[in-house]
Amino acid sequence: MKEALFTVGMKVRDYECDMQGIVNNAVFQNYLETARHDFLLSRDVDFADLTARGIIVIVTRAELDYKKPLRSGNHFEVTVIAEQVSRLKIAFKQTIRLQGCDELVMEAIVYAVALKDFKKPFFPEELKALL
């Protein structure tokens, strides 16, 4: 992957762990989404504002490659890189790495498209600004 355009630090909370004491696989989607929303805000794109204006950004596909578990109390960083992958589709290439040792925990690509009022797909200027 290219050098990260955006990085946010996070910490695993106890309630995110399953019976084995590791972060439940579904929780990783929350980490990735939080980082994407923070990335948008860092570029002056407010997800809630987009929605209020009828620009609906939806995930169409998520590829998640788990490399190492996270445990309660782990500090980690999530990176985000945005790339336009087709006329209408954007891909958010993301990683999760342990802080301090830089060990790779996850690689992910999350694909999304924008719809105007849940109808017509288009690539809005707000998404172009992320590239």
Which residues are known catalytic residues? 18
Q: Are β-strands 55-66 and 89-98 bridged in parallel, bridged antiparallel, or unpaired?
A: unpaired
Diameter of the chain measured on Cα atoms: 45
Q: Which two tokens stand for residue 126?
A: 């707000």
User: Does residue 84 sit in helix, strand or coil?
Assistant: strand
C-alpha torsion sign, points 97, 92, 29, 36: positive
How far is the C-alpha of 86 from the C-alpha of 89, rounded, in Å?
A: 5
